[in-house]
Amino acid sequence: MTGPSHDGDVPAPAVPGPAVPGPVIVQPMRRRHLPSVLRIEKQVYPRPWTMSLYLGELALPSTRCYVVARQDGRLVGYAGFMMSLDECHITTVAVDPVCQGHRIGTRLMLVLAARAVARGAASLTLEVRMSNRPAQELYRKFGFAPAGVRKGYYAEVNEDALVMWAHDVNTAAYGHRLAAIEATLPAPTVVQER
């Protein structure tokens, strides 16, 4: 049931743009967010998840956690995980292509990691396309290391998945890692619980 891993935290080209965007707000994914989630899903994945799949995931709050990132009233990214005992499997991380390179993926990963630890996770795992180097670099910042390859995992694009794990995420050292990552952001992330 795992989806493709995607981050999109690649550097954006330096181009003059509009005024500085507002803060990034991360909040729980709700049914009302799904049309915007599916819009992004169709842009970033060759085999996008469906409305019914997301509704099924949202119906399992005891083992699932999905969040969205909004900026200036617009949904710009989303991410989620499922828990199995003390292991957290990150199922999806996606950023609207027009917002990639603005560290939305970093913010989503910070929130996911903190929520996973709060739910008792000792380890985090995910799959990422072998060719998705920017996402792999992001995950390495979060302590993920390669642990194996799943041949043909992304059948729709005939690509293998790199399996990555981060262990001991329930330690003070990992908490310091997250704090150091957050300190590199130009402004704090606003986390809402509703």
**63 contacts 82 by C-beta, under 8 angstroms:** yes
Identified catalytic residue from 127, 153, 154, 174: 127
Annotated catalytic residue within 139, 153, 154, 174: 139
Residue 143, CA atoms < 13 Å, CB-side half-sphere: 22
User: What is d(CA 159, CA 129) in angstroms, rounded to the nearest whole number?
Assistant: 7
156 counts as catalytic: no
Angle between helices 104-118 and 172-183 (to 10 degrees): 160
Q: Secondary structure of the chain: what % helix, strand, coil (to 5)? A: 35, 30, 35
Among residues 132, 115, 32, 50, the alpha carbon closest in space to that of 79 is found at 115
Q: Does residue 127 have an active-site annotation?
A: yes
Give the chain's length: 194
Mode of pairing for the β-strands spanning 74-84 and 64-71: antiparallel
Q: Which long-range contacts (CB under 8 A, 24 or more apart) does 32-37 make?
A: 33/68, 33/75, 33/78, 36/68, 36/74, 36/75, 37/68, 37/75, 37/78
Question: Which residues have a catalytic role annotated?
Answer: 127, 139
